[in-house]
Amino acid sequence: MKITLDGEIIDYTLEKETNLFQVLSSLSELLRNQRAEITGVVLNGEPFSFWDRSGAENIPLDTVKELSITSQTAVEREFEELRILLQFFSLLNEAVQKKQRDAVKEILTEYPHVQPTLEQHLRTLFPVEGSSQFPLKDPAGGTEEEWATAEKFTQQVITLLQERIREITSPREECAGLLQLLELSKKDLESTSVLLQTGQDTEAMKKVLAFIEIVSKALRMLGRLHPAESHSEELYRSLAAPLQELHQAFLHKDSVLIGDLLEYEIAPKIGDIQNLLIGALPEIKP
């Protein structure tokens, strides 16, 4: 039995497998450990649905001459989803800018399918499920203000999607930039506490949002670079709850809780994030 994975022949030793399903399960587990998954199977030159468990269980291995498997890593899947989102919003933005009402209406029929993926990738912008609702409810009408808001919305989303894509395509440059931002954020956190204490909540909230995005970006990049690294996982777990609380405190404008979370839960972890990023830099290909 010849097995290829993404075009490369692999050395696979049978143990107790007797049917195709068992082989696919074993390969799937192997890929899962590498943060990848099977995306396609070709059996003896013909496409095969790898979701068809009963069908795979009924195929004995002595009938399998050639098995060709394609896979996709978590980062590759993330990049593909971001690319599709960027295409969608670029098309939508162009139609909104030109006020092409029929085109906008047609594009928006796909928005309910796009929205969950959008919120998943841009959680800092859309912290609550359903918060990415498109601001232009009726493309056939709509006031000038609504059209302007819709254009601003699509442009903001496009900018963030482009930034997320750069994290994947230019990780070295993004990591280096993050180290500088994290260093600056230390001073920002100190001034944020002062702003909150003196009643300057609006300015403080801007700094909080910026800081949340910086830390979230650092955790995303560390997750891609070292998905199974114990220190990265421990840091992520230690920051996940405080960052979520910070989101909620921001939504409820709880300045006291925001100050406490920043000072006692999040600020002490900045040095750990910087050290992990510095350690990751030499491993990133130029």
Regarding whether 91 and 55 lie in a shared domain, the answer is no
Regarding whether 278 and 193 lie in a shared domain, the answer is yes
Q: Among 35-39, 114-118, 254-258, whose mean pLDDT is lowest?
A: 254-258
Number of structural domains in the chain:
3
The pLDDT, as a whole number, for residue 3 is 94
Regarding whether 93 and 28 lie in a shared domain, the answer is no
What is the value of pTM for the model shown?
0.76
Among candidate residues 112, 144, 167, the one where a domain is terminated:
167
What is the SS3 assignment for the chain? CEEEECCEECCCCCCCCCEHHHHHHHHHHHHHCCCEEEEEEEECCEEECCCCHHHHHCCEHHHCCEEEEEEEEHHHHHHHHHHHHHHHHHHHHHHHHCCCHHHHHHHHCCHHHHHHHHHHHCCCCCCCCCCCCCCCCCCCCCCHHHHHHHHHHHHHHHHHHHHHHHHHHCHHHHHHHHHHHHHHHHHHHHHHHHHHHCCCHHHHHHHHHHHHHHHHHHHHHHHHHCCCCHHHHHHHHHHHHHHHHHHHHHHCCCHHHHHHHHHHHHHHHHHHHHHHHHHHHHHCCC
Regarding whether 219 and 250 lie in a shared domain, the answer is yes
Regarding whether 184 and 133 lie in a shared domain, the answer is no
Among candidate residues 138, 167, 196, the one where a domain is terminated:
167
pLDDT in tens, 181-213: 888 887 777 777 677 777 787 787 777 778 878
Q: Among 146-150, 225-229, 257-261, whose mean pLDDT is lowest?
A: 225-229
Regarding whether 186 and 125 lie in a shared domain, the answer is no
pLDDT in tens, 144-181: 999 999 999 999 999 999 999 999 999 888 888 888 88
